[in-house]
Amino acid sequence: MALLIKNGTIATEESHYKADILVEDGKISSISKNIDKHSSVEKVINAEGSYIFPGFIDPHVHMSLPTPAGNSSDDFYTGSRAALFGGTTTIIDFVTPNRGQSILEALELRKKEAEDSIIDYSFHVSPVEFNETTAEEIIKCHDLGVKSFKIYMAYKDNIGLNDEELMKVLEVISGKTTGIATVHCELGDEVEKLRETFASEGKTQPLYHALSRPARTESEAVKKLIQMAEKTDCPIYIVHVSTSKSVEHIRAAQNEGLEVYAETCPHYLIFDSTKYGGLFVDSAPYVMSPPLRKKQDLQELWRALPEDVIQAIGTDHCPFMFAQKKTGEKDFRKIPNGCGGVEHRPALLFTYGVKNNKITIEKFIDLLSVMPAKIFGLHPAKGAIAEGSDADIVIWNPDKKSTISASKHHQNSDINIYENIKTVGAPEYVIKNGEIALKGKKIVNKTLKGRYLISV
């Protein structure tokens, strides 16, 4: 079916302008000042007063992430559905093998699990050790269209790498692939010691989760990673950057010409560490790694967006039910780490960023769609309103007001860290691969099916 979108304001990373868009066979076939309705057009949408964005891409989500408190509470179906309600049409999740398991086997299993997604998806693939087959498997994954390899400098008990292993993985990515190392930067050993110390002193409240992961354990890891990336000439993408000192290291590396990209998350831009001051019920939902930081860190993160030091915003979507968080009521180390957000990222950034004049509409779309697509090899099929691109399109009402609440969100969780926050801006329509998927507050296409995306 052909679909004609008339009178909208197309926003790209460079400009915004009024034009009509013709969609045919799942792709954008034409963009022009005035496209007339012709006989094959089945549906016309009048987008007067709305922005037209490329579908948002969330480059950092964890659906059904296994933890000792049970899996994160959104699976690929519920999580992708929630994402769609906010205008997100592509997610990038993770393949995390068990040690001893083949990375390729883990990739195939995760692909099967993700078939429930109703939006398109891709993965960062994690080497969780460096054994005799790791290099070969990284290269094979890359040949199969995996661009991003995720490394954890924390969580060394099960998935994190030590420095020697990290170097080896960077050498393989740089020397044998055109991929990128996507890295969780925290000094794992130091964090572990602090956790043990606090617990042995009976300091077990959520506050000690934050105090056991002080800002320097992140920024020193960022600094160390950048040095390793420089030695190995490996492009890197640093996930969930939360501190001003990390931003400083990243800016310095970029100024030296290193290929360093950075991501932050809405929660680091909106909340600060005072959230850990209250009762368990109020503070446990904010237990995530890295933890929330000080007000001056938030200010520096906001500055880093228009300055292009941070190129992407992901959610690190990893929600839990409160009962799961409660397993750590007597010991912060047992609180599962993470929070939801896949549904709210566009409206939050539109409200706090665009409406507050902290970022332009062009920067907004760059951070939430264009750069995630470019960095992870999905552009220009994704992240672009251009002839030939996939017709993943958000028709965005810039004035629509909402209030976030767990009582009405679509994420599978009974808590929401953004509870009662008022947002401005919401999708009027979401078009996915040329089909109208969402209209207003309703999914109108019940047979939506996400596709696994190969990176280039």
Binding site for Zn ion (CB under 5 A): 184, 316
Show the beta-strand stretches assigned E in 266-359: 312-313
Contacting residues for 277 by C-beta, under 8 A, at least 6 apart: 207, 283
CB of 83 to ligand URP, least distance (A): 16
Following CA atoms 141, 147, 149, 150 in sequence, which dihedral angle do they give, to the nearest 10 degrees?
-130
184 binds ligand URP (CB under 6 A): yes
3-state class of 428 per DSSP?
Answer: strand
Which of 167, 156, 164 is CA-nearest to residue 189?
156
- The residue (of 6 and 345) whose beta carbon lies closer to Zn ion is 345
Measured from the CB of residue 125, what is the shortest distance to ligand URP in angstroms?
15
Q: Which of 89, 90, 289, 416 binds ligand URP (CB under 6 A)?
A: 289
337's contact among ligand URP, Zn ion, none, with CB below 5 to 8 A by partner kind, is ligand URP
**Per rule CB under 6 A, is residue 337 in the interface with ligand URP?**
yes
β pairing state of 422-432 and 393-403: antiparallel
CB of 454 to Zn ion, least distance (A): 22
> At its nearest, how many Å lie between ligand URP and the CB of residue 289?
4
Q: How far is the CB of 105 from ligand URP (least distance, A)?
A: 22
Q: How far is the CB of 344 from ligand URP (least distance, A)?
A: 16
Q: Give CA–CA dist 332/284, Å, rounded.
A: 8
Strand partners, 23: 3, 28
Asked if 288 is part of the footprint of ligand URP (rule: CB under 6 A), the reply reads: yes
CA-based Rg of the chain, rounded to a whole angstrom?
21
Burial of 239-250, coded b for 16+ CB within 10 Å and e otherwise, reads bbbbbbbbbbbb
Distances (CA, A) of 430 to 38, 198, 212, 414: 23, 47, 42, 26
* Helix H or strand E encompassing 202: none
| Count of residues of this chain found to bind ligand URP when the rule CB under 6 A is applied | 8
Query: Whose CB is nearest to Zn ion?
Result: 184
| Least spacing, CB of residue 175 vs ligand URP, in Å | 27
Q: Which is nearer to ligand URP, 124 or 379 (CB)?
A: 124
Give yes or no for residue 316 binding ligand URP (CB under 6 A). yes
Instruction: Report if residue 318 touches ligand URP, rule: CB under 6 A.
Output: yes
Residues 24-63 contacting ligand URP, CB under 6 A: 62
Nearer to ligand URP, 222 or 448 (CB): 222
Question: In the Cβ-directed half-sphere of 19, how many Cα atoms lie within 13 Å?
Answer: 17
Q: Which residues, other chains included, contact 157 with Cβ-Cβ below 8 Å and sequence gap of 6+?
A: none
Q: Which is nearer to ligand URP, 6 or 267 (CB)?
A: 267
Q: Tell me how far, at minimum, the Cβ of 59 lies from ligand URP, in Å.
A: 12
**What is the total residue count of the chain?**
456
338 binds, among ligand URP, Zn ion, none (CB under 5 to 8 A by kind): ligand URP
Question: Which of Zn ion, ligand URP, none does residue 315 bind to, with CB < 5 to 8 Å depending on kind?
Answer: none
Closest to Zn ion by CB, 184 vs 275, is 184
- Judge whether 369 and 312 are in contact, CB under 8 Å: no
Peptide bond into 372 cis (omega under 30): no
Name the binder of 288 from ligand URP, Zn ion, none, CB < 5-8 A by kind.
Answer: ligand URP
Binding flag, residue 416, ligand URP (CB under 6 A): no
Taking the least distance from each CB to ligand URP, the nearer of 275 and 363 is 275
The answer to whether 367 and 410 have CB atoms below 8 angstroms apart is no
Pick 62 or 382: Cβ nearer ligand URP: 62
Q: Is the preceding omega at residue 54 within 30 degrees of 0, hence cis?
A: no
Structure-token pair, residue 176:
């044998």
Q: How far is the CB of 229 from ligand URP (least distance, A)?
A: 19
Q: Which helix (H) or strand (E) holds 184?
A: strand 180-184
Binding site for ligand URP (CB under 6 A): 62, 184, 288-289, 316, 318, 337-338
